[in-house]
Amino acid sequence: MDGKILDNDISRVVEADRAHVWHHLIQHAAWTGEAPKGDPRIIVEGRGMRVWDQKGKEHLDAVSGGVWTVNVGYGRERIANAVRDQLIKLPYFAGSAGSIPGAQFSERLIAKMPGLTRVYYTNSGSEANEKAFKMVRQIAHKRHGGKKHKILYRERDYHGTTIACLSAGGQDERNAEYGPYTPGFVRVPHCLEYRAQWDLEGEDYGIAAANAIEEVILAEGPDTVGALCLEPVTAGGGVIVPPKGYWPRVQEICRKYDILLHIDEVVCGVGRTGTWFGYQHYGIEPDFVTMAKGVASGYAAIACCVTSERVFEMFRDESGDPMSYFRDISTFGGCTAGPAAALENLSIIEEEDLLGNTVAMGEYMLDQLRALQDKHAVIGEVRGKGLFLGAELVSDRTSKEPANEKQVQAVVADCMAQGVIIGATNRSIPGFNNTLCYSPALIATKDDINQIVSATDAALTRVFG
Ligand SMILES: Cc1ncc(COP(=O)(O)O)c(C=O)c1O
């Protein structure tokens, strides 16, 4: 390649991509090497719920940009205009100073998060989680002689791609080969009742799953545990909505042992489950909330680590000590495009009542997927909240033996061939990469959902009969 790619010569784009781009979470063997099969996919354009690829083929995107991100849909000119105007005025200044959109967005965001007061800006979900981990560690040093430094995380949850986030990673296939990990991260059991670990049901099951966290705390020593980090609804680990009884007991346990509660809203945050934040379904009071993907719907990179004033206070109580503050740097946390985009994103969700739409369309989609479950024995369970849904595939409903992963992937590929992009848990839990994932934009209509469900129906028939 000579570096000169003409905008209108898409074949050159495809070849440049094949030769030089290292895609995330993709095996490149298929389209590179001596005898490539097919081309890398280039997504060229998007409008509303739909995207077009390099061949001009239209796809209905049921996964909001592949990873639960484009919550308000594609082609929002008002976000682009706000970003453009802000970039011309001031693109960047380090976070040691404030910015107009940064201050304005923090105020609008905090108004939606009673009990929390401070927003630390950063640029990816992983980095936001790292900030919370660092705060927990520093609090341990400042307040507890370094002892209360352990961070609990849950089997099947994911908190990001960096080594510390993988150390808090409950998905063994995501983690494999990237160790050794950071010490001081301790795993607690998952709470997926469909894959029950206790012979109980409903609320009793939820309480037992939370009590399992307490057992870990007691085994480790409560005076060594600083925080518990959980997804409100586990995403890539199988779309897991915690059972009734789970969250109140989790909150109780955290209070009992003075353990800070860190909720990772990187996927659920900003509308995905039908409330502004997933934790708000459960009436819990977190100390940290981290968020990224839907904050600006992918129109600009922005992530936030939001804390209570109690946490913030712990970092400003010794003003005479030059070490006594959060000594953290996030270069791109100072980009103004992020909060400028996030402000418009928030306004769109409010003005178009996208939370209301998410609740209504989420219920509709859940019903449609449950109807599909009546038709296809391979669907073992349908679960989710709002427009964040999963269908776990099994080869046998009684034994719950997970469906063959190649067949699960074949369902995804068949939908793609039909022009509908759905997802599936992928290289996550060994033997359990068997859940189809759906997270259409919060603007989805019944017609969109019907198209997604009927593509899945046809794909399941073709793959499983
Ligand atoms: C729950 C959760 N937390 C954190 C992350 C990491 O976010 P990022 O990829 O922006 O670093 C992800 C990414 O998928 C996620 O699903």
As beta bridge partners, residue 304 has 121, 291
CB-ligand 1 contact for 241 (6 Å cutoff)? no
Q: What percent of the chain has pLDDT over 70?
A: 98
CB-ligand 1 contact for 161 (6 Å cutoff)? yes
- Say what the pLDDT of residue 28 is: 86
Å from CA of 218 to ligand 1 middle: 29
Which residue's CA lies nearest to atom 7 of ligand 1? Answer: 125
Atom of ligand 1 nearest to the CA of 234: 1
Which residue's CA lies nearest to atom 12 of ligand 1? Answer: 160
Site of tokens 């870990």: 216
Atom of ligand 1 nearest to the CA of 129: 4
- Say what the pLDDT of residue 2 is: 54
Per-run averaged pLDDT (10 residues), the chain, 465 residues: 60 91 88 78 96 95 97 98 98 97 98 98 98 98 96 98 98 97 98 97 97 98 98 98 98 98 98 98 97 98 98 84 90 98 98 98 98 98 98 98 98 98 96 97 98 98 96
Q: What is the pLDDT of residues 220-261, one digit of tens each?
A: 999 999 999 999 999 999 999 999 999 999 999 999 999 999
- Say what the pLDDT of residue 1 is: 47
- The DSSP symbol for 55 reads T
Nearest to 157 by CA among 184, 138, 129: 129
In the sheet with 43-47, reading across from the earlier edge strand, the strands are: 43-47, 50-53, 58-61, 420-421
Q: Which domains does the chain have, with CATH numbers?
A: 41-70+354-464 (3.90.1150.10), 78-351 (3.40.640.10)
- Say what the pLDDT of residue 409 is: 97
- Say what the pLDDT of residue 153 is: 98
Q: What is the pLDDT of residues 315-335, one digit of tens each?
A: 987 678 888 899 999 999 999
Between strands 43-47 and 303-307, the pairing is unpaired
- Say what the pLDDT of residue 6 is: 57
- The DSSP symbol for 67 reads I
CA–CA dist 114, 110 (Å, integer): 7
Q: How far is CA 284 from the centre of its chain?
A: 19
